[in-house]
Amino acid sequence: MPVKPRTRQAFCRIGWGELCPNSARHPNGTGHWARRLCFRCYTFWVRKLIVNADDLGLTAGVDRAIVETHIGGVVSSATLMANGAAFADAVAASRSVPSLSVGCHVVLVDGTPVSPPDAVDTLLAIRSADPGKFYSSLSAFAARAMLGGFDRDQLVAEITAQIRKIQSAGIHVTHLDTHKHAHIFPEILVALLRAARICGVRAIRNPFVPVKAMPARLFKGKRDLWKRYGQVRMLHTFSGQFLQRTRRAGLLTPDGVVGVIETGSVDRPGESSGYSSLLRQTLAKLPEGTWELVCHPGYNDADLLAARTRLLDSREQERRLLLSAELRQFLEAQKIRVIGYREFVEKFAEKGAGNRL
């Protein structure tokens, strides 16, 4: 007589601590049934999440928030801006928390080069009122990148200079990403991969959001989010090239990112379209694998206002959320384990092969 398979309870989580009334019992075999019936179910699969705080070095307030959300919250990694106004403060902050994985937040748009301007002239904005700076507009930068207007050797030189500046400060650079996800564009990616190999950095951010984690219904009717959703979906066409080139270069990368579309949205009483609500729904839909949550904690102070960033109040909100017990409990309930980039790289070193944990 055949043995009846054992079953286990699988709960769908729809809130930080809510149980969905549609909870069901699923076979305890491979788990595929559970995924078809309810994508957000608790199963024996473990999903991993790198929680990376961007813009370390932007202001002293941002640096302080990143350290706080690492010590008392879920932030596991951060990326440092070599040309940030608070670079020295960021270096000191990084040294104070050796458990924080620190990478380089490569800035090629909306900033100034580390290299002498004359040495990277093709990277600078043309006919700018503020000479010696990169393009401030992402659309102008993207157009130039797609038309091959940047000298590739200059790109590699500038990216290398930014990484070397951080390494020279005594920081072990565990990974790379780019300001405004500039390495989505193939021309920038090729240069980033070359610079990573030159500097001995083993991992880079995968800047593409998984399609299953961005259903259109979450963003429809919300003007700014809908526009960003459309841009992210359109740029997803570069994802195949990204994976091929990264593998050929021998670098490691997670399975993708989340938090990109939601960035900048603010929670408002009585609304379900704020940052924490959208993030909760996105995280609940993550497939198995290793993913990266992009976040921007900070303090909305005078230095931040002077930095001319669009992310102001949202940084305060993200800081509070990343420190909250509710978020930690939600991740535990979803069986999402938080890791840093250092652990991500070390796991591959131990296994000696593969491009996914």
Give DSSP secondary structure letters for 219-272: TTT-HHHHHHHHHHHHHGGGHHHHHHHHHHTT-B--S-EESTTTTT----TT-S
pLDDT classification of 222: cutoffs 50, 70, 90: low
Rounded mean pLDDT, 50-75? 97
Q: How many CB atoms lie within 10 A of CB 190?
A: 17
Q: What mean pLDDT, rounded, does the chain reach?
A: 82
| Nearest residue to 78 (alpha-carbon basis) of 322, 244, 306 | 322
188 close to 145: Cβ distance less than 8 angstroms? yes
pLDDT at residue number 46:
81
Helix or strand holding residue 277 (H, E): helix 275-284
- pLDDT confidence band for 224 (50 / 70 / 90): low
Give pLDDT, residue 303.
Answer: 86
Q: What are phi and psi of 104, to 5 degrees?
A: -110, 125
The two three-digit tokens of residue 204, written as one number: 């880079």
Q: What is the pTM of this model?
A: 0.81
Fold of the CATH domain 46-351? TIM Barrel (3.20.20)
For residue 330, pLDDT beyond 80 = yes
Query: Nearest Cα to 340, choosing from 274, 268, 254?
Result: 254
Residue 30 has pLDDT above 50, yes or no: no
**Predicted confidence band at 264 (pLDDT cuts at 50, 70, 90)?**
low
Mean pLDDT, to the nearest integer, of 103-114? Answer: 96
| 54 membership: H or E segment, kind and range | strand 47-56
Structural domain boundaries in the chain = 1-44, 46-351
In DSSP notation, 289-338 reads: SEEEEEE-----SHHHHHTT-S-SHHHHHHHHHHH-HHHHHHHHHTTEEE
pLDDT of residue 3: 46
Inform me whether the pLDDT recorded for 62 exceeds 90: yes
Of the ranges 116-130, 186-200, 249-263, 269-283, the best mean pLDDT one: 186-200
- pLDDT over 70 percentage in the chain: 74
Residue 301 has pLDDT above 70, yes or no: yes
172/167 Cα distance (integer angstroms): 6
Cα separations in angstroms, 261 against 80, 210, 254, 292: 22, 12, 18, 13
Which position has the higher pLDDT, 191 or 14?
191
Task: Report the C-alpha gap between 249 and 203 in whole angstroms.
Answer: 11
Residues ≥6 apart with Cβ < 8 Å to 119: 154, 157
Q: Token digits for 207?
A: 């800047």
Residue-level pLDDT at 324? 95
pLDDT number for residue 34: 32
pLDDT band at 226 (very low <50, low <70, confident <90, very high): low
Which conformational region is residue 335 in: left (phi greater than 0), alpha (psi within -120 to 50 degrees), or beta? left
Highest mean pLDDT: which range of 146-155, 157-166, 284-293? 157-166
* R_g over Cα of the chain: 21
